[in-house]
Amino acid sequence: MTEIREKLCYEDKVILAPMVRIGTLPMRLLALDYGADIVYTEEIVDFKMMRSIRRENDVLGTIDYIDRTDGTIIFRTTSRESSRVVFQLGTCDPLRALEVAKLVEQDVAAVDINMGCPKSFSLMGGMGAALLTKVEKATEILRTLVKGLSIPVTCKIRVFQDLQKTLELCDALVSTGISAIAVHGRTVHERQQHSNRNETIRAIAKHLSIPVIANGGSKEIEKYSDIEKFKNQTGCSSVMIARSAEWNCSIFRKDGLLPIEDVIKAYLKYAIDFDNSPSNTKYCVQNILRDLQESPMGKQFLAAQTLEQICRVFDMDDYCREKSEEYRNSGLQGRFQVEPTREGDGTDKGLKRKHVEEDDDVTLMRCAFLRNGYSDLELPKSRLLQWLRDNKKKDMPVYDTWREDKLFRSIVTVDGQKFSSTFWEKNKKRAEQGAALVFLLSMGVVDEKQLIESGHLTR
């Protein structure tokens, strides 16, 4: 029997806005904990999702959409948010949009089309705010989704300087059958220093018959009661919060804001529990710390590279280690296990990989090159060259680098000996640095314990 799901309601809601790199699973769950009614994912571009594969992660209890070319997580969700998470899609094509929306349809509560992003990447690709002036294309995308999906479809827009032009755009979008529309009260060329056009949003809300979600008021939203003020000023059904939530997600708490350190610890627990990437975790915590990055604690945090090092700053490293060990014992594969999905593309690449891994003449180690761990003068390739000079070796190192899918491996030959990392990197330069790092470790130039602690090496 097919399960009948209750459709998402957009009336009288407080919503976490879509934010690039911020709206990943830990932040979405934290927002729900603090009182958000609906949470949006970060914008995910259609082409990216089209090269993903869906996997049920029994260890984490999540649904993972994994990039088949490099093994990275594009979108991770869990049943806890399935009835309240909105998947925001970046697209300029109705058929691609429908293909991706059908892919995630059973895992999310609704799909939203980004029609407000002013970034050059979106505009050049015909996505985001570019759709504001391509009404026929925008309505075709929405109409295709409304017709083809069983879940609600919405869009998020910016306004024009001309109110009538804005209202005409909204009329066209609403005619497609969308369930709600989110409105950021600035034009494409306006930024945070410009005042939000609350009166324009009010006029839109009065003009339309579907729920209008007010967005863009973070400068005035410093506590929970300010959310209601913004809602009244705009006359909208609901309010969507971006920067205020990015800085302190407890803005959603009716009982008031929590101290920054409490919010960070709660965020880190979710980051640990759901194996969030260290780089994304660090980015989100940086945006919570803001000016505190200049404090002694902030500087210690900025020097951290691994998730465990980040957690150590906030006295959560024991918990991080315990969960990591638990996940390893349960068979969870991490970034060190990422491999290409194909055995090659008709060439001998797959055979080459097999040969390298079976070749006793190649010293193999599980080393990853983490760029932020090195100054320009301390890069592994630079230190390798210095070692050659110090040891009066005349022959230069030779790098043999190859690509499979979008991943790279390299073998460096030094003085007749070969060295390689078993870790697949995302570009040629990183692969060569990783091979050089294996050489340095083999020669005792770098400390093994230090590499393990910094996340560059696993045993």
> d(Cα 264, Cα 85) in Å, to the nearest integer?
22
Q: Look at the alpha carbons of 86, 90, 91, 95 in this order and tell me if their dihedral is positive or negative.
A: negative
173 residue type, one letter: L
Query: Contact 165/201 with Cβ under 8 angstroms?
Result: no
The tokens of 454 are what? 């910094």
Contact between residue 76 and residue 42 where contact means Cβ atoms under 8 Å apart: no
Instruction: Report the relative pairing of strands 417-421 and 407-414 from DSSP bridges.
Output: antiparallel
Q: For residue 312, give both structure tokens.
A: 């150590």
In DSSP terms, 181 is beta-bridged to 155, 212
| C-alpha span between 139 and 300 (Å, rounded) | 49
Calculate Rg over the CA atoms of the chain. 25
Catalytic residue among 92, 117, 170, 311: 117
CA angle 340, 433, 21 (to 5 degrees): 60
Pair 61, 79: CB distance under 8 Å: yes
Question: d(Cα 117, Cα 122) in Å, to the nearest integer?
Answer: 7
- Residues 235-272 as b/e (b if ≥16 CB within 10 A, e otherwise) read bbbbbbbbbbbbbbbbbbbeeebbebeebbbbbbbbbb
How far does CA 349 lie from the centroid of its chain? Answer: 30
Catalytic status, residue 170: no
For the annotated catalytic residues, the residue numbers are 117
